[in-house]
Structure 1
Amino acid sequence: MSDCSLTPADPGFSVSSFLQTPFLTDMYQLTMCYAYWRGGIHNKKAAFELFFRKCPFKGEYAIFAGLDTVLRFLEKFHFSDSDIEYLKTIIPHAEPEFFEYVKGIDGSCLKVYSLREGTMCFPSVPLLRVEGPLAVAQLVETTLLNIIGFPTLVATNAARMRHVAGPEKTLLEFGLRRAQGPDGGMSASVYAIMGGFDKTSNVLAGKLFGLELSGTHAHAFVMSYQNMKDVKNRKLRRNIKKEIASSSSSSSSSSCPSLEESISSEAEEVDFVELVLSIKSRLGIDGTQEGELAAFTAYAISFPNGFCALVDTYNTLKSGVPNFICVSVALVECGYEPGSVRLDSGDLAYLSIKSKEMFREYAEKANCEKLKEAQVVASNDINETTIVALNEQHHQIDVFGIGTNLVTCQGQPSLGCVYKLVELEGSPRIKLSDEMGKTTLPSRKVAFRLHSSDDRPLLDILVRVEADDTFKAPQSGEKVLCRHPFVESKRCYVIPERVEQLHSCVWDGRCLMEKRYSCVEIRDYVNAQMNAQREDRLRIINPTPYKVSLTQDLFEHTHELMMECMPIPVLEM
Structure 2
Amino acid sequence: MAPLADLYHLTMAYGQWRAGRHRSPASAELFFRRGPFRGTFALGAGLAEGLRGLRAFRFSAADIAYLRSVLPSTTEDAFFDYLATLDASEVTVSAVPEGSVVFAGVPFLQVKGPLLVVQLLETMLLCLVNYASLVATNASRFRLLAGPDVKLMEIGLRRAQGPDGALSASRYSYIGGFDCTSNILAGKLYGIPVRGTIAHSFIMSFTSLEEVQPRELPPLAGGEPVDFPALAQSWLPRVCELLQTPPEKTNRGELAAFVSYAITFPHDFQGLLDTYCVRRSGLPNFCAVALALHQLSYRAVGVRLDSGDLAQQSKEIRQALRACGAHFQVPWFETIPIAVSNDISEQSLEQFSQEGNEIDMIGVGTHLVTCPLQPSLGCVYKLVEVNGSPCLKLTQDEEKMTIPGTKTIYRLYDAAGHPFMDLMALEEEPSPSVGQELAIRVLGRLGETSKVVPTTVECLHRTYFRDGQVCEPLPSLLEVRNHAQASLSLLSPAHRRLHDPQPYPVAMTEKLYHLLIELREARQ
**TM (normalized to structure 2)?**
0.96
2:230 to 250, 274, 284: 274
Question: What is the count of residue pairs matched by the alignment?
Answer: 517
Is this contact kept in 2: 1:161–1:384, CA < 8 A? yes
| Residue in structure 2 matched with residue 174 of structure 1 by the alignment | 155
Does the C-alpha gap of structure 1 residues 267 and 549 become closer, same or farther in structure 2, counting only changes over 3 Å?
farther
1:60 is aligned to 2:18: no
1:424 Cα deviation after fit? 0.6
Aligned partner of residue 470 in structure 2, secondary structure = coil
1:475 Cα deviation after fit? 1.9
1:107 is aligned to 2:88: yes
Aligned partner of residue 291 in structure 1, secondary structure = helix
1:97 Cα deviation after fit? 0.9
1:288-323: CA deviations, max 9, x gaps?
Answer: 101101111111222222222111111122211121
Does the C-alpha gap of structure 1 residues 108 and 227 become closer, same or farther in structure 2, counting only changes over 3 Å?
same
Q: How far apart in 2 are the matches of 1:536 and 1:334?
A: 52
Moved over 4 A (4+): none
Q: How far apart in 2 are the matches of 1:465 and 1:514?
A: 20
Q: How far apart in 1 are the matches of 2:187 and 2:368?
A: 18
Is this contact kept in 2: 1:194–1:523, CA < 8 A? yes
| Residue in structure 1 matched with residue 308 of structure 2 by the alignment | 346
1:271 Cα deviation after fit? 2.6
1:343 Cα deviation after fit? 0.8
Aligned partner of residue 345 in structure 1, secondary structure = coil
Task: State the one-letter code of the partner of 2:274.
Answer: D
Aligned partner of residue 440 in structure 1, secondary structure = coil
Q: Where do residues 149-160 of structure 1 align in structure 2 (5 Å cutoff)?
A: 149-160=130-141
Is this contact kept in 2: 1:309–1:342, CA < 8 A? yes
1:306 to 268, 280, 287: 268
1:44 is aligned to 2:24: yes
Q: How far apart in 2 are the matches of 1:486 and 1:226?
A: 67
Q: How far apart in 1 are the matches of 2:394 and 2:294?
A: 69
| Residue in structure 2 matched with residue 143 of structure 1 by the alignment | 124
Is this contact kept in 2: 1:156–1:195, CA < 8 A? yes
| Residue in structure 1 matched with residue 457 of structure 2 by the alignment | 499
| Residue in structure 1 matched with residue 292 of structure 2 by the alignment | 330
| Residue in structure 1 matched with residue 388 of structure 2 by the alignment | 426
| Residue in structure 2 matched with residue 362 of structure 1 by the alignment | 324
Is this contact kept in 2: 1:328–1:339, CA < 8 A? no
1:518 is aligned to 2:476: yes
Q: How far apart in 1 are the matches of 2:469 and 2:291?
A: 55
Task: State the one-letter code of the partner of 1:364.
Answer: A
| Residue in structure 2 matched with residue 4 of structure 1 by the alignment | none
Q: Where do residues 383-462 of structure 1 align in structure 2 (5 Å cutoff)?
A: 383-462=345-424
1:293 is aligned to 2:255: yes
1:224-280: CA deviations, max 9, x gaps?
Answer: 11111111112223334xxxxxxxxxxxxxxxxxxxxxxxxx455333222211111
Does the C-alpha gap of structure 1 residues 499 and 410 become closer, same or farther in structure 2, counting only changes over 3 Å?
same
Q: How far apart in 1 are the matches of 2:440 and 2:50?
A: 32
Q: How far apart in 1 are the matches of 2:515 and 2:280?
A: 71
2:514 to 540, 556, 563: 556
Q: Where do residues 143-222 of structure 1 align in structure 2 (5 Å cutoff)?
A: 143-222=124-203
Is this contact kept in 1: 2:89–2:469, CA < 8 A? no
1:489 Cα deviation after fit? 4.8
Does the C-alpha gap of structure 1 residues 290 and 496 become closer, same or farther in structure 2, counting only changes over 3 Å?
same
Once the two structures are overlaid, the 10-residue window that deviates more, 454-463 or 334-343, is: 334-343
1:328-376: CA deviations, max 9, x gaps?
Answer: 2222232233321111111111111111111122223322222101111
Task: State the one-letter code of the partner of 2:152.
Answer: L
Task: State the one-letter code of the partner of 2:163.
Answer: P
What is the percent sequence identity of the aligned residues?
Answer: 42
Q: How far apart in 1 are the matches of 2:405 and 2:219?
A: 69
Aligned partner of residue 461 in structure 1, secondary structure = strand
Q: How far apart in 2 are the matches of 1:513 and 1:455?
A: 30
1:224 is aligned to 2:205: yes
| Residue in structure 1 matched with residue 430 of structure 2 by the alignment | 472
1:390 Cα deviation after fit? 1.4
Q: How far apart in 2 are the matches of 1:495 and 1:333?
A: 66
Q: How far apart in 1 are the matches of 2:372 and 2:350?
A: 16
Is this contact kept in 2: 1:63–1:121, CA < 8 A? yes
Q: How far apart in 2 are the matches of 1:161 and 1:405?
A: 10
Root-mean-square deviation (Å): 1.5
| Residue in structure 2 matched with residue 10 of structure 1 by the alignment | none
Does the C-alpha gap of structure 1 residues 464 and 340 become closer, same or farther in structure 2, counting only changes over 3 Å?
same
Task: State the one-letter code of the partner of 2:272.
Answer: L
1:144 Cα deviation after fit? 0.7
Is this contact kept in 2: 1:485–1:555, CA < 8 A? no
Does the C-alpha gap of structure 1 residues 417 and 267 become closer, same or farther in structure 2, counting only changes over 3 Å?
farther
Q: How far apart in 1 are the matches of 2:311 and 2:444?
A: 47
| Residue in structure 1 matched with residue 4 of structure 2 by the alignment | 24
Is this contact kept in 1: 2:306–2:340, CA < 8 A? yes
Task: State the one-letter code of the partner of 2:235.
Answer: I
1:525-562: CA deviations, max 9, x gaps?
Answer: 11111111111212222111111111121122212221
